[in-house]
């Protein structure tokens, strides 16, 4: 199967350093011919390499605004994390107005779909026997589970993500209102991260992609900022969002907000992909069985920490919390409550139509007996390697090199230390061979030594 990846290498900028290979949570990068190549079956599009690369050689390929041209009716789906990017005092309404001015015909607030998904999740937690459930909202975490924790796939909460729910809901509604076919209506997620960009192209739990494009927050940020800073922008209410989220829905943009929005007890929130790995490790060992639900996000700080955002995540995290708790967003009108009840009744929007399947990547061989043999060889190689995990061989650590060797993808002498040992042995042998001159040629040797001294002086 082909995997779509939004994270790419810009070869011309890559110096072949070891920063990204050592940071990658799935050991998905190898330096070959001086370039950090991504192994596509292992990459989960978390964006860690984009964040760490000192040469900006890892890039996220998202859609440009020209994609809007392909559709008659264009709808923006702003991620909750978009609102926190702008300076204090900027309201979500101002940002939504600016989206209309950017050329969108409608705006559907993903924070509203987050409100719906929270309500569904609350129900699922009550009904399920699986403990703990792990949120399906962060696509990098879902893929991490598929490739590195395949036996935890059944813990992923079986609920479609807010982004997709928002798209399905708004397409049906706009199609009804305008008479356009759903294929003529384009929905575009304003994304904080490469994980979501990839999820738009290749969703995990649904057969079909329900969102038509993903535009990065960093692309629209300067445009929206410019529009908002125009003096007349306040009065120009060009249009209103089809739905707007509550404060709790907006809170999904930061770590901890999702759990707060779902609201039941015995929850745990973890952010940062390496921290998520530790928690998943614990779940595999049977720990955390007393926990009902785990909000797990690949980025430190949650969505506001995504690599396609612009502002420092610790600043946006605070703004996001302020927006979420603003008095205006605490109460819902009767009309809003009724509409939410209607939207929640559309059951099929929320269920996976395709199971999320394991994609184990660690297996050394399909034949178990051979795999065992390879593992024994691997352990031997590991013992002989220096254990410095320097990365000079192009693999992230000594064990990963040993794995590559038994898979036939690398050689032990890719290790600079092993190579040096070999060169040393060869040199010693060479010296011995040079010294072992037959007695009959003894004079010739003396001559050579004299020649060498004369040339070097």
Residues that bind another protein (CB under 8 A): 150-151, 281-282, 284-287, 358, 360, 362-366, 368-369, 371-373, 375-376, 378-380, 383, 403
Closest CB 60 distance from another protein, rounded Å: 29
Closest CB 403 distance from another protein, rounded Å: 8
Closest CB 158 distance from another protein, rounded Å: 18
DSSP per residue, 248-265: HHHHTTSTTHHHHHH--S
Sign of torsion, CA 20 21 27 28? Answer: positive
Which tokens belong to 197?
Answer: 């960009």
Closest CB 454 distance from another protein, rounded Å: 56
Residue with smaller CB distance to another protein, 239 or 358: 358
The Cα–Cα gap between 13 and 412 comes to: 28
Residue with smaller CB distance to another protein, 368 or 430: 368
Residue with smaller CB distance to another protein, 70 or 377: 377
Closest CB 369 distance from another protein, rounded Å: 5
Residue with smaller CB distance to another protein, 154 or 429: 154
Over the range 75-95, which residues count as b (16 or more CB within 10 Å of their CB) and which as e? bbbbbbbbbbbbeeebbbebb
The Cα–Cα gap between 282 and 275 comes to: 11
The Cα–Cα gap between 341 and 50 comes to: 41
Closest CB 372 distance from another protein, rounded Å: 5
Looking at residue 25, the DSSP 8-state letter turns out to be T
Beta-carbon neighbour count of residue 34 at 10 Å?
11
Residue with smaller CB distance to another protein, 120 or 155: 155
Residue with smaller CB distance to another protein, 282 or 429: 282
**Residue 425: Cβ-neighbour burial (10 angstroms; 0-12, 13-18, 19+):** exposed
Q: State the distance between the two ends of the chain, measured CA to CA, in whole angstroms.
A: 66
Residue with smaller CB distance to another protein, 369 or 433: 369
Closest CB 179 distance from another protein, rounded Å: 49
Alpha helices, H only, 189-287: 194-201, 217-229, 247-251, 257-262, 273-284
Closest CB 382 distance from another protein, rounded Å: 9
Please compute, for residue 77, the number of CA atoms within 13 A of its CA located in the half-sphere on the CB side. Answer: 31
Residue with smaller CB distance to another protein, 150 or 239: 150
Strands 29-32 and 35-38 turn out to be antiparallel
């Amino acid at each position: 199967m082909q995997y779509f990846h939004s994270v790419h290498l810009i070869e011309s900028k890559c110096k072949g350093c070891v920063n990204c290979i050592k940071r990658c949570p799935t050991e998905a990068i190898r330096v070959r011919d001086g370039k950090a190549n991504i192994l596509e079956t292992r990459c989960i599009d978390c964006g860690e390499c984009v964040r760490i690369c000192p040469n900006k050689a890892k890039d996220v390929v998202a859609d440009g605004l020209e994609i809007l041209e392909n559709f008659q009716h264009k709808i923006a789906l702003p991620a909750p994390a978009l609102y926190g990017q702008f300076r204090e005092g900027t309201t979500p309404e101002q940002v939504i107005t600016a989206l209309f001015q950017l050329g969108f015909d409608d705006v559907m607030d993903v924070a509203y779909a987050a409100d719906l998904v929270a309500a569904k999740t609350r129900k699922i937690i009550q009904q399920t026997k699986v403990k703990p459930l792990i949120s399906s909202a962060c696509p990098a975490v879902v893929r991490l589970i598929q490739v590195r924790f395949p036996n935890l796939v059944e813990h992923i909460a079986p609920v479609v993500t807010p982004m997709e729910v928002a798209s399905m809901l708004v397409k049906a509604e706009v199609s009804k209102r305008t008479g356009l076919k759903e294929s003529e209506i384009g929905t575009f997620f304003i994304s904080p991260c490469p994980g979501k960009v990839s999820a738009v192209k290749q969703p995990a739990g649904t057969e079909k992609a329900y969102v038509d494009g993903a535009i990065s927050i960093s692309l629209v940020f300067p445009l929206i900022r410019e529009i908002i800073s125009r003096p007349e922008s306040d009065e120009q209410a060009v249009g209103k969002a089809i739905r707007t989220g509550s404060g709790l829905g907006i809170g999904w943009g930061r770590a901890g907000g999702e759990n707060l929005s779902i609201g039941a007890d015995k929850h745990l929130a973890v952010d940062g992909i390496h921290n998520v790995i530790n928690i998943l490790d614990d779940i595999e060992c049977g720990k955390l069985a007393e926990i009902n639900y785990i909000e797990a996000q690949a980025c430190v700080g949650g969505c506001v920490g995504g690599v396609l955002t612009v502002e420092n995540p610790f600043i946006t995290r605070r703004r996001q919390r302020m927006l979420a708790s603003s008095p205006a967003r605490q109460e819902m009108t009767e009309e809003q409550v009724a509409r939410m009840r209607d939207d929640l009744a559309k059951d099929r929007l929320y269920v996976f139509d395709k199971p999320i399947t394991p994609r184990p990547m660690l297996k050394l061989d399909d034949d178990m007996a051979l795999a065992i043999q390879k593992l024994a060889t691997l352990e031997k190689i590991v013992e002989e390697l220096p254990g410095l995990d320097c990365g000079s061989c192009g693999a992230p650590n000594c064990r990963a090199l040993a794995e590559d060797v038994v898979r036939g993808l690398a050689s032990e002498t890719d290790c600079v230390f092993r190579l040096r040992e070999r060169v040393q042995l060869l040199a010693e042998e060479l010296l011995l061979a040079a010294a072992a001159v037959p007695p009959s040629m003894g004079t010739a040797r003396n001559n050579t030594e004299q020649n060498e001294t004369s040339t070097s002086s």
